[in-house]
Amino acid sequence: MAGSTLGDLFTITTWGESHGAAIGVVIDGCPAGLSLDETDIQIFLDRRKPGQSRFTTARKEADQARILSGVFEGKTTGTPISIMIENTDHHSADYSAIKDVYRPGHADYTFDAKYGFRDYRGGGRSSGRETIGRVAAGSVAAKILKELGISVHAYTRSIGKIVIPESEYHYSEIEENKLYMPNNEYAQKASAYLDECIHSQDSSGGTIECIVTGMPAGIGEPVFHKLDAALAGAIMSVGAVKGVEIGDGFLASLSKGSKNNDPFYMNGTTIEKASNHSGGILGGMSDGSKIVIRAAIKPTPSISQGQETVKKSDTSSLENTTISIKGRHDPVIVPRAVVVIEAMTAVTILDLIMHNMTSRMDSLIKFYQC
């Protein structure tokens, strides 16, 4: 499978570069009969929009989603949904400074190594704008999941060393601060830290947490398409992610079985777990508890302080140089990536939710007898 398609049944194919004519996604396999209009998508896109706070880029893209196919009289038809977002702000800036220079921490060198050259304008295909198609697709997946009683929510867990302990999560505060943190006080501390970063021409990393509630048990395909494997692959495919954890994640490596195992017990007639170290996944399938995923986001690689690197000289030979990346850059990627992680989670879960429908003979018999 070529690299821009994800999923087996709910399939998304993204396309577009930062400074091309447009950017978009084709969703194939969306069930027929879902109410859908451009507003559903726009709400998600607006969450990753730049220019929302002093920590995100000033580029004022409208980022208006347009549905070009697959919806008729307000309902999905079962055929591919093509969503396009025009790149309205792609005035040809002066790229001479980065055209021949490999920016540290960016994909400039690896793109050249693979393809022999690259669209250097704004990072081309490796730009953060590539996530627009993912988020548009995620908005559709999330809407379907919602109809099935499943909710997906992501938020900023930490920025640099400012980490919110789980005991201090106040989910209602997520939308109250520009960093999407579930604690306004920590958000203020993080803001102060980011101001420092800006001042020192530097940037910060952070972590995003995503939770899924309402998941039925048994979702995920044993062995290679486990729920956690699919989530890890989908989330690690987001540009700046360098680590993924489920439940206790790396802490589980320090733990003991007696503590890490979650006891089952009966809550009335329902089986539940007394703890959730597993993060809602056992043996690669959902166990009925809340699913908990964490992603580590690296610091924004574009910083304005000088960095040593390599450039192609006119004669195509390589030579050492120094680069200072001009222009306004987010000192942190995390807040804008929150909705991207949520989107990837929604898309992944929906695909496995659909896959699961064929797991049992009695389901097939019931389906075709109706």
Nearest to 290 by CA among 120, 141, 153: 153
Nearest to 338 by CA among 208, 176, 148: 208
Q: Could you say which of 91, 308, 315, 316 contacts a copy of itself (CB under 8 A)?
A: 308
Minimal distance in Å, beta carbon 159 to a copy of itself?
Answer: 8
Q: Alpha-carbon distance 357 to 370, whole Å? A: 15
Minimal distance in Å, beta carbon 41 to a copy of itself?
Answer: 15
Minimal distance in Å, beta carbon 133 to a copy of itself?
Answer: 9
Q: With binding defined as CB under 8 A, does residue 165 bind a copy of itself?
A: no
Question: Would you say 14 or 183 has its CB closer to a copy of itself?
Answer: 14
**Piece of the chain touching a copy of itself by CB under 8 A; list 46-54, 92-100, 114-122, 174-182:** 114-122
Q: How many other CB atoms sit within 10 Å of the CB of residue 68?
A: 12
Question: Would you say 37 or 172 has its CB closer to a copy of itself?
Answer: 37
Q: Could you say which of 43, 93, 97, 252 contacts a copy of itself (CB under 8 A)?
A: 252
Q: With binding defined as CB under 8 A, does residue 75 bind a copy of itself?
A: yes
Minimal distance in Å, beta carbon 103 to a copy of itself?
Answer: 8
Q: Alpha-carbon distance 60 to 251, whole Å? A: 41
Q: Cα-atom radius of gyration of the chain, to the nearest Å?
A: 22
Q: With binding defined as CB under 8 A, does residue 93 bind a copy of itself?
A: no
210-249 burial: b if 16+ Cβ within 10 Å, else e: bbbeebeeebbbeeeebbbbbbbebbeebbbbeebbbbbb
Site for a copy of itself in 44-63 (CB under 8 A): none
Q: With binding defined as CB under 8 A, does residue 32 bind a copy of itself?
A: yes
**Piece of the chain touching a copy of itself by CB under 8 A; list 48-56, 170-178, 182-190, 296-304:** 296-304
Query: Taking the mean position of all CA atoms in its chain, how far away is CA 319?
Result: 36
Minimal distance in Å, beta carbon 273 to a copy of itself?
Answer: 8
Q: How many other CB atoms sit within 10 Å of the CB of residue 298?
A: 17
Q: With binding defined as CB under 8 A, does residue 254 bind a copy of itself?
A: yes
Site track 331-350 with a copy of itself (rule: CB under 8 A), x = hit:
--------------------
Minimal distance in Å, beta carbon 83 to a copy of itself?
Answer: 10
Q: For 350, phi and psi rounded to 5 degrees?
A: -60, -40
Q: With binding defined as CB under 8 A, does residue 111 bind a copy of itself?
A: yes
Q: Alpha-carbon distance 83 to 137, whole Å? A: 8
Minimal distance in Å, beta carbon 281 to a copy of itself?
Answer: 8
Burial of 79 (0-12, 13-18, 19+ CB in 10 A): middle
Which residues, other chains included, contact 229 with Cβ-Cβ below 8 Å and sequence gap of 6+? 284
Site for a copy of itself in 177-236 (CB under 8 A): 197, 200-207, 216-226, 228-236
Q: Could you say which of 130, 136, 177, 346 contacts a copy of itself (CB under 8 A)?
A: 130
Q: Alpha-carbon distance 337 to 254, whole Å? A: 29
Q: Alpha-carbon distance 9 to 183, whole Å? A: 37
Q: With binding defined as CB under 8 A, does residue 147 bind a copy of itself?
A: yes
Question: Would you say 172 or 200 has its CB closer to a copy of itself?
Answer: 200
Residue with tokens 């025009």: 86
